[in-house]
Amino acid sequence: MKVLAKASDNNIATVYVAETEDKKLVEFVESLQPPFPIEDKWVFVISTMYGCPVGCKFCDSGWTYKGKLGKAAMIDQIDYMIRSRYPDLKVPARKFKIQFSRMGEPAMNESVLDVLRQLPELYDIKGFLPSISTVAPHGTENFFSQLLDIKNSQYRNGFQLQFSIHSTNPEQRDWLVPVRKWSFSEIADYGEQFYSDGERKITLNFALGEGNEVDQKVLLNYFDPEIFLIKITPVNPTQKALVNNVKNIVDDSCGHNNIVNRIESAGYDVILSIGELEENRIGSNCGQHIMNYLSRSKAPLDAYSYELESV
């Protein structure tokens, strides 16, 4: 893999653009969580596919799809970022999270499982927290069955699993995430198998656009608050969100407050994750994709304003 360029604020986040052995472009991200030092928390967001076939209505990774990355191409992304700072391959961060969610739906690529199996052998990563965020596509039962075994055998101390459902209204969910998917019952059944006492709760994520339904009665019908928590995130400024008129309501004006209060009152833990707005300008936030922005050049407000520097 050859890293070609980066967009960076060293204190917040860096997006790398690289060419893999297949002569295709990928993007991957490292980010810090100011004011915490890197020894406290370091986060990678790597690509699992060249683009994404799902095509969520607010995600710039889904403009194109050119295939899956193999295990080596995923490890190359991780290896580049670790070696750049820690050539001895010892990562001191108390929390070192790798999210498989820059470009691609991880459950549609079983090589992700091989990466999870191998990572602890490759690096000294005591604070390692793998994170799989998925829309739960139909036909991925084999992936999830193996994932459960891997978590139980290798990651009892910490594994983050997130189902990105975005709406409790099935029709709205289908519009936002336009592929055949597991039903809420199927997600709930799997979550109940996946979760064991004392482990991290399973996350249900809502990137909240104006009008997205988050009905606590529907949630309670399927998802046990002892097993699932709710994470509310913004719809980040992407070209897709702009074109599809998906308007963010999670910001300083607190349009999300009412929803958060209702879900908390229903008994769920709620994480409100707004993040660093500077990451929108860097192009490192969830759903953003610099190369697609450059090929389309229709910038959402206050996003993608950093120049790509050659590496």
- Report the distance separating Cα 82 and Cα 95, nearest Å: 14
Three-state secondary structure call for residue 62: helix
At its nearest, how many Å lie between ligand SF4 and the CB of residue 132?
11
Query: Considering only residues 52, 91, 116, 165, which one is a binding residue for ligand SF4 as defined by CB under 6 A?
Result: 52
At its nearest, how many Å lie between ligand SF4 and the CB of residue 203?
14
Closer residue to ligand SF4 in complex, CB, 154/169: 169
Count of H helices and E strands in the chain? 10, 13
Three-state secondary structure call for residue 146: helix
Q: Token pair of 29, please?
A: 């991200």
Q: Determine the residue type at 120.
A: P
Query: Considering only residues 5, 15, 17, 56, which one is a binding residue for ligand SF4 as defined by CB under 6 A?
Result: 56
Among the listed ranges 97-105, 138-146, 220-228, 246-254, the one in contact with ligand SF4 (CB under 6 A) is: 97-105
Is position 55 an interface residue for ligand SF4 (rule: CB under 6 A)? yes
Subset of 283-302 contacting ligand SF4 (CB under 6 A): 287
**What is the DSSP code (8-state) at residue 90?**
B
* Nearest Cα residue to 64 out of 307, 237, 301, 295: 295
Three-state secondary structure call for residue 276: coil
Subset of 60-79 contacting ligand SF4 (CB under 6 A): 61-62
Subset of 189-228 contacting ligand SF4 (CB under 6 A): none
Subset of 224-253 contacting ligand SF4 (CB under 6 A): none
Three-state secondary structure call for residue 280: helix
Is position 54 an interface residue for ligand SF4 (rule: CB under 6 A)? yes
Subset of 110-149 contacting ligand SF4 (CB under 6 A): 135
Is position 165 an interface residue for ligand SF4 (rule: CB under 6 A)? no
Closer residue to ligand SF4 in complex, CB, 135/249: 135
* Nearest Cα residue to 161 out of 100, 225, 71: 100
Among the listed ranges 16-24, 101-109, 141-149, 270-278, the one in contact with ligand SF4 (CB under 6 A) is: 101-109
- Does the N-terminal peptide bond of residue 92 adopt cis geometry, omega within 30 degrees of 0? no
Q: Token pair of 3, please?
A: 């890293």
> Any bridge partners for residue 30, and if so which?
14, 44
Among the listed ranges 31-39, 102-110, 115-123, 249-257, the one in contact with ligand SF4 (CB under 6 A) is: 102-110
Closer residue to ligand SF4 in complex, CB, 27/76: 27
Q: Are strands 160-164 and 309-310 parallel, antiparallel or unpaired?
A: unpaired
At its nearest, how many Å lie between ligand SF4 and the CB of residue 163?
11
Is position 178 an interface residue for ligand SF4 (rule: CB under 6 A)? no
| Binding footprint of ligand SF4, residue count (CB under 6 A) | 12
* Nearest Cα residue to 74 out of 38, 41, 106, 107: 106
Closer residue to ligand SF4 in complex, CB, 51/91: 51
Closer residue to ligand SF4 in complex, CB, 54/82: 54
Query: Considering only residues 59, 119, 259, 303, which one is a binding residue for ligand SF4 as defined by CB under 6 A?
Result: 59
**260 within 8 A of 237, measured Cβ to Cβ:** no
> Any bridge partners for residue 128, and if so which?
96
At its nearest, how many Å lie between ligand SF4 and the CB of residue 150?
21
Rounded to a whole number of angstroms, the distance between the first and last alpha carbons of the chain is 13
* Nearest Cα residue to 259 out of 268, 221, 276: 268
Q: Could you list the residues that contact ligand SF4 (CB under 6 A)?
A: 52, 54-56, 59, 61-62, 103-105, 135, 287
